[in-house]
A = this chain, B = another copy of it.
Amino acid sequence: MTVPTSAQPLARRADAQRSIAAILKAAVNALSRDPDASVSDIAKAAGVGRVTLYGHFPNRADLVEAALAHAIDQGHAALDAVDLVGDTRQALTRLIDSSWLLVNQSRALLLAAQAVLPPSRIRDLHAGPVERVEGLVKRGQDDGAFRSDLSTSWLVGVMHSVMHTAADEINAGRLDPDQAAAFITATVLAAFTPPGRRVPA
């Protein structure tokens, strides 16, 4: 039995895509349990050889970055289910709660990423989630729920960094994971409150 020559590249490409998908899934799983998970462990869990893995991801940093990007993409898709209409503060609270669940699940993966990527690259990988937050923050600034004396991009940056601070503080043993969501929401809503208005209780 011979495979027609013209079909070979396509078949090989489909193979490569299956390998990459298996590697990314294994990398997200392994790094979410152990930020120091090795390339060998990940290759084994993905059912591929190390040579195949290195063919797609030349070094561990590339693999960690791709795993974080993959987890963020999946999280971004999951956040489509969050209801962002109605009262802007309540919508932001719902978005923070759901986003924090995802960040908290990926705390170890984030730690792995922080060890190999600068904060600016990690922030850039969050372009999708950042855009969603940006839309909501803009709407809140327009309807007067959020302060307009600070720029939209600044408020979005503050929210991003407060969530990642919570992850760092839990990892450092200074924050109880059960308190994190409430602390993040209270901090972000207060930071977004227009000057002269009362901080929500």
Of the candidates B120, B171, B193, the one whose C-beta lies within 8 Å of that of A120 is B171
Q: How many copies of this chain?
A: 2
List B contacts of A187 (CB < 8 A): 150, 154, 158, 191
Query: Which of the candidate stretches A5-13, A14-22, A38-46, A110-118 sits at the interface with the other chain?
Result: A110-118
Is A55 interfacial (CB-CB < 8 Å)? Answer: no
Expressed in whole angstroms, the Cα–Cα distance for A196 and B186 within the complex equals: 12
The answer to whether B150 and A186 have CB atoms under 8 Å apart is yes
The answer to whether B197 and A183 have CB atoms under 8 Å apart is no
Shortest Cβ distance from A92 into chain B, in angstroms?
15
The answer to whether A120 and B172 have CB atoms under 8 Å apart is yes
Of the candidates B114, B160, B174, the one whose C-beta lies within 8 Å of that of A118 is B114
Of the candidates B119, B160, B165, B199, the one whose C-beta lies within 8 Å of that of A190 is B199
User: Which 4 pairs between the two chains have the least Cβ-Cβ distance?
Assistant: A195-B201, A161-B165, A191-B191, A161-B161
